[in-house]
Amino acid sequence: MSDTYTLYNKTVMDHFMNPRNMGDLPNADGIGEVGAAACGDIMKMSLKVENGRITDARFKTFGCGSAIASSSMATELIKGRTIEEALHFSNQEVVDALGGLPPVKIHCSVLAEEALKAALEDYVKRNPESASQVPPSAASANGR
């Protein structure tokens, strides 16, 4: 048997084995930490925001391979987006960018969406003036 079989597809395995943007941001402008009620995993996301745009993002995850890959991919995807764009971010984007996740593992990508939104909420709380740029409906759209 020379082939290596993997539980997840190549992209997911790559993000799991070589996660991008892993760690904390020393002077983060927003930090969010959420847990998955389904399995008990925890994800933390830190953002750097300049002029209403996310310039850097980092994650830390206590969770399965798919949760680690999802958080890695999510941080890649949101860099460069405006706060408003980021508030519309959906886990489906992560799933698509990863080339799909097993059905039972979709909730891991939801965790990434929620960690991001919690970090954005934290940013808005710390920078109330930024709230005016954000439609109120989007600001409260925390998860599902």
Partner 1 sequence: MRHVYLDHLSATPLLPEAFEAMKPYFLEAYGNPSSLHQHGLRVREALTQARVQIAELVRAESPDEIFFTSGGTESVNLAVKGVAYANKRRGNHIVWSEVEHPAVMNSVEFLEKEGFTHSKVPVDSVGRVQVERLREAITDQTTLICVQLANHDIGTLQPVAEVGAIAAERGIPLFVDANSAAGWVPIDVQHLGASLLSLSPHRFYGPKGVGVLYRNRRARLVSILHGGVQEGGRRAGTENVPAIVGAGVAAQAAARDLESRVTHVRGLQERLWSGLKAAIPFLKLNGPEPGPQRICNNLNLSTEFIEGEGQLLLLDMHGIAVASGSSCVSKSLKISHVLAAIGLDHALAQGNLIMTLGRDNTAEEMDYVVDEFSRIVEKLRGMSPMWDEFQRGIIDSVVAPTGRGRSFSEYAAEVSGKAAH
Task: Give the SS3 label for residue 80.
Answer: coil
Alpha-helical segments (H) within 47-105: 65-78, 83-87, 91-97
State how far the Cα of 99 lies from the Cα of 45, in Å rounded to an integer: 22
Contacts with 140 (C-beta within 8 Å, 6 or more apart), sequence order: none
Among residues 22, 25, 36, 39, the one annotated as catalytic is 39
Please choose which of partner 1, ligand FES, none residue 89 contacts, taking the beta carbon within 5 to 8 angstroms, the exact cut-off set by kind. none
Q: Smallest distance, Å, CB 105 to ligand FES?
A: 6
39 is catalytic: yes
Residue numbers of the site for partner 1 (CB under 8 A)? Answer: 7, 16-17, 19, 22, 24, 33-44, 60-65, 67-68, 104, 107, 110-111, 114, 118, 142-144
Residues with a known catalytic role: 39, 108
